[in-house]
Amino acid sequence: MQHGKKTQHKVRNTILIVILLLLVGTGAFGMVRYQSIKGSVAKTFKSAGITKERDVNGQLSGKKPISILLLGTDTGEFGRSYKGRTDSMMIITVNPSTNKTTMTSIPRDTAVSIPGFTDVAPSKINAAYDWGQAGTTITTVQNMLNVPIDFYALINMGGMEKVINKIGGVDVTPTLSFTYEGYTFKKGVKLHMNGSRALAYSRMRYEDPLGDYGRQTRQRQVLMALVKQSGSISTLLNQDFISSLSSQVQTDLTFSDLTSLVKNYRKATGAIQQTHLQGTGKMIGGQSMEVMNKTELQRVTDFVRDGLALPHKATGKIALPSAFGEN
């Protein structure tokens, strides 16, 4: 598997994924839908409960590069929205000066010492949200990679089934062939998927030769397909769709923040560079974890900081490479 490979995607109004869907058609809404959209967005707001590393309002007002930690949970079917461990984690940077966006996936099983919970270290990074919600998750990612996180957005992947059904399904071309939860997928053969099928496609993990890395790729596929399918004016004007979407998202981006993003950052979502943090699977304390060597951590730190136009700094110190002689 190649590291740092940069892939360009031409997807209009995309990489803020589900969050920007709430406002991506602002110009088309005008005053007719303005208040209803504002109300829907207000329902998604929840503070991270921490002091951010930098002045996020200044970053937005100055049209400077910003970062968003995108988290995915899979609890929608069980009535436990926004609780439990995160199934996916991604750092997004958006730079309006260079008109570039980056996406960095972090494996859910990454071995770290979670701030505030060092007595149970090492732990999987996906426990950070379960133990300390968004604030602890942000702090953990910041300390692991030595990068600032300006905002977070939590998406309920289980609840996305309802959102996908609201827009009549999505078109996805499977990356591999498999059968899961009663659905069969054939590599390279495009399928129109309803919410249940799309959720099954994005959930499968153990039959994928790439494991969680492969699942991350399929989750991004489904989200991108959702963005593409819901980009029509008729969909954006559908209040049921907007309400359904907003009920599956939680973020500390305010309506004003999102308005600034749509106004000043949209062009940066046309050129997207992707990478992921690649580890080595090891059994630690009876758990399967992904251990990151320092070279890989530094590569990803450089990638994210470059996306934010920040100078070089050494990577963080809370990941777990040294115990296995991998420094």
- Per residue in 128-149, pLDDT tens? 999 999 999 999 999 999 999 9
Percent of the chain with pLDDT over 90: 43
- pLDDT value for 113: 95
- Place 29 in a pLDDT band, splitting at 50, 70 and 90: very low
Higher pLDDT, 198 or 88: 198
Detail the DSSP E strand segments found in 253-297: 272-276, 280-284, 287-291
Cα 163 to Cα 76, 100, 230, 249, 326, distances in angstroms = 11, 28, 10, 11, 43
Nearest-10 Cα torsion for 227, 232, 238, 239? 50
- Place 79 in a pLDDT band, splitting at 50, 70 and 90: very low
Chain-centre distance of CA 46, in angstroms? 17
Higher pLDDT, 181 or 246: 181
Q: Check whether 12 has a pLDDT greater than 80.
A: no
Low-confidence winner among 2-6, 183-187, 234-238, 300-304 (lowest mean pLDDT): 2-6
Low-confidence winner among 45-54, 63-72, 197-206 (lowest mean pLDDT): 197-206
Q: Check whether 182 has a pLDDT greater than 80.
A: yes
Q: Check whether 121 has a pLDDT greater than 60.
A: yes
Detail the DSSP E strand segments found in the chain: 66-73, 88-95, 100-105, 111-112, 123-124, 151-156, 170-172, 178-180, 183-185, 191-193, 249-251, 272-276, 280-284, 287-291
- pLDDT value for 67: 96
Mean pLDDT value across the chain? 80
- Calculate Rg over the CA atoms of the chain: 19
Compute the average pLDDT of residues 72-99: 74
> What is the pTM assigned to this prediction?
0.80
Q: Check whether 14 has a pLDDT greater than 60.
A: no
Compute the average pLDDT of residues 119-125: 93
**CA–CA gap between residue 66 and residue 266 (Å, rounded):** 13
Q: Are strands 111-112 and 183-185 parallel, antiparallel or unpaired?
A: unpaired
Q: Check whether 4 has a pLDDT greater than 50.
A: no
- Place 114 in a pLDDT band, splitting at 50, 70 and 90: very high
Token pair 């994210």: residue: 304
- pLDDT value for 258: 80
For the chain, give me the number of helices (H) and strands (E)? 11, 14
pLDDT in tens, 193-234: 998 999 899 888 888 888 877 887 887 788 778 767 655 444
Q: Check whether 47 has a pLDDT greater than 90.
A: yes
- pLDDT value for 132: 92
Higher pLDDT, 240 or 232: 240
Write the CB contacts of 195 (distance below 8 Å, at least 6 apart in sequence).
Answer: 160, 161, 162, 163, 164, 165, 169
